Amino acid sequence: MRRILTICSFVLASCTVNAPFALAAPGAVRCGKLLDVRSEKMLSDQVVVFDANGTITSAGPAASSSASGASGTIDLSNATCLPGLIDVHTHLTGDPTGNGYQALGISVPREAIIGAKNARRTVYAGFTTVRNVGASGYTDVALRDGIDAGDIEGPRMLVSGPPLGITGGHCDDNLLPFEFHQKAEGVADGPWEARAKVRETVKYGADVIKVCASGGVLSKGDQPGTAQYTFEELQAIAEEAHKLGRKVAAHAHGTQSIKDAIRAGIDSVEHSSLIDDEGIALAKQHGTYLVFDIYNDDFILQEGAKAGMLPESIEKEKKIGRLQRENFRRAFQSGAKMAFGTDAGVYPHGDNARQFAKMVEWGMKPIDAIQAATIRAADLIGWPEKVGALEAGHYADIIAVSGNPLSDVRVLESVKFVIKNGAVVRNDYSAK
């Protein structure tokens, strides 16, 4: 392993899939085009230089960079570079095949292995940072730490541990009858029990708190539109989490729960399906991010039954899928803050970028969708100085594609080059 690392640091360009343990190394990338996501400008012939910690030290015109022609500089003259993408709503430890009653046969250790596979797929697809919101047995904490240590390949992760939810709610396990006394790890009823659960998840490694405010699609026996946690409970969770330096992401499809979550001071509303005009106005007033997972509707309706999703789940999706997309457009047009989150795990991991085309179809320009997955997502997760832009001081998380994502956002579905934290994860261009 030491030898692999040594080779990687000298011959960065050739160190691709065979070096799963690669950690940061100094280097530079020369980009034919580079999308400056902040200024919205497509720049020509740029060089991004990074140090041994995998931190960008400079980014600018090749003409003024000493690294331009240096040996070891990776040549991407025919490609377009962008910052590594961010998905703020993933479930890496779950696959679409693990739904409904099929999920009962999957152990916690098995979920961790599934997570290792999906972490690799995700980073290969150009998503170098994810916020994972909901996993059993703290498998997400293990995954995050394993990736950071270089044991396995994957994106930089912020993780929530088990999501908080009410008894019998979206984030409880409701598949088995009473005599099994089955209860999900994150179940907590009442403000004080919920506060204690926040403390417990932080104790075991959570970076962010996930709470299920309303009913959901893939759970048994509830409805997406109905409220689950009360305002009082949500307020207690937000206050406790913020006191401990953690942000809160609330799963909320229902109109009332969305407003309750925003008024309670929660940082992002996930799904946001049935948001109304008052909810959008509240989100703007409070600066709350809205995260609309508008790609996976297609997958649930087409593949959900085969993937073991309950018939009631498919019916629920039929009722809210289109409304969610219409509300996404209304929320965007009214200027609410939006971050890119897909609910990967509901659909196959690695297809995250398919949501860009949906966002464009439903009202965004390509640059808006790309900003949602870079600078806006970085702001939501609290790392605006670290991820989401190719600027000095940021992690060297660089991806490259062929073509121009501003004219065809679908080129992001075929990422060909990925560096995370200064280490090459994938370089399809070097093979030619």
The residues assigned a catalytic role are 210, 343
175 closest CA partner among 107, 225, 224, 221:
221
CB-count burial class (<10 Å; 0-12, 13-18, 19+) for 298: middle
- Residue nearer to Zn ion on the CB measure, 131 or 426: 131
Site size toward Zn ion (CB under 5 A) is 1
How far is the C-alpha of 159 from the C-alpha of 6, rounded, in Å?
A: 31
Question: Residue 29 or 258: which CB sits closer to Zn ion?
Answer: 258
For 81-171, where are the alpha helices, taking DSSP H only? Answer: 108-124, 139-148
Annotate each residue in 306-345 with x if it binds Zn ion (CB under 5 A) or - if it does not, as one string. Answer: -------------------------------------x--
Binding string, residues 131-150; x marks residues near Zn ion by CB under 5 A: --------------------
Q: Minimum distance between the CB of residue 349 and Zn ion, rounded to whole angstroms?
A: 13
Q: Nearer Cβ to Zn ion, position 30 or 131?
A: 131
Q: Left (φ > 0), alpha (ψ -120 to 50) or beta: where does 54 sit? A: left
Cβ atoms of 111 and 136 closer than 8 Å: yes
CA–CA distance, 363 with 8 (Å, rounded to integer): 43
Min dist. Cβ of residue 163 to Zn ion (A)? 8
Minimum distance from residue 244 beta carbon to Zn ion (Å): 22
| CA 87 – CA 219 distance, rounded (Å) | 23
CB of 403 to Zn ion, least distance (A): 31
116 Cβ contact list (under 8 Å, min separation 6):
143, 146, 152, 154
Binding mask 343-372 for Zn ion (x = CB under 5 A): x-----------------------------
Please state, in angstroms and rounded to a whole number, the distance separating the CA atoms of residues 319 and 304: 15
- Min dist CB 218 to Zn ion, Å, is 9
Shortest reach from residue 346's CB to Zn ion, in Å: 7
Helix or strand holding residue 320 (H, E):
helix 311-333
Closest of 200, 229, 233, 206 to residue 216, by C-alpha:
229
Which residues, other chains included, contact 392 with Cβ-Cβ below 8 Å and sequence gap of 6+?
56, 57, 58, 59
Helix pair angle (311-333, 277-286), 10° resolution: 60
Q: At what angle do helices 231-243 and 255-263 cross, to 10 degrees?
A: 40
Return the sign of the alpha-carbon dihedral for residues 53, 54, 60, 64: positive
As measured in angstroms, the least distance from the Cβ of 130 to Zn ion is 12
Q: Which amino acid is at 340?
A: F
Least distance to Zn ion, CB of residue 8, Å? 35
Comparing CB distances to Zn ion, the nearer of 267 and 343 is 343
Kindly identify the residues of this chain, within the stretch 39-58, that bind Zn ion according to CB under 5 A. none
Nearer to Zn ion, 48 or 344 (CB): 344
Considering only CA atoms, which of 156, 11, 186, 162 is closest in space to residue 87?
156
Does 222 bind Zn ion (CB under 5 A)? Our answer is no
Q: Which amino acid is at 17?
A: V
Cβ proximity to Zn ion: between 30 and 271 the closer is 271
Select 92 or 227, whichever has its Cβ closest to Zn ion: 92
Residue nearest to Zn ion (CB): 343
Distance CA 84, CA 392 (A): 15
Residue (111 or 343) nearer to Zn ion, CB = 343
Residues that bind Zn ion (CB under 5 A): 343
